[in-house]
Amino acid sequence: MSAKRTPDSPQNVWQNKFLTDYDLTPFTSDQEGLKYHRLRDPKTWWHNPDWWHNPLNPNSLRLTKTGFTILEKANVKNHKFVLTKKLVSKSYIQLEKYFTSPYYIQNANMVFVFGETETMMLMLHGNNLQQYLDNHSK
């Protein structure tokens, strides 16, 4: 059973920060296959692969494509990392556990990070996300 989403859940904290600090507007884009989404709806922002069977994990900071696109269009600062090693299954679990800022996984080789701490640490690890995550596990 998943934890309940509360006002101090990481998702709420970041979502409210983005809504307060930036002029975010929902949009429709046939080209990108995106439809209008409510900005306060967690499903718009946060990735959860199985909404019907698994409740929302309020601690997950992995952005959906729609959430990422909304932030990109609002020029929210992020850092793109082309990874030295592809993400593997354990990487996804470790990201959920250790990342404290929103991130978007474009593919197994590319991640966008919205937090300064993780950005700096990834730079120090030479874009080796797995090494960074494994060091957290020790």
Q: Residue 35 has what pLDDT?
A: 55
Q: For the whole model, what pTM was predicted?
A: 0.82
Q: Give the span between the Cα atoms of 61 and 104, in whole angstroms.
A: 9
Name the percent of the chain lying above pLDDT 90: 38
Residues with Cβ within 8 Å of 80's Cβ and at least 6 positions away in sequence, in order, are 110, 111, 112
pLDDT digits (tens, 9 = 90+) for 10-58: 888 888 888 888 877 665 555 555 555 567 677 778 887 554 445 566 7
Tokens of 77: 């600062």
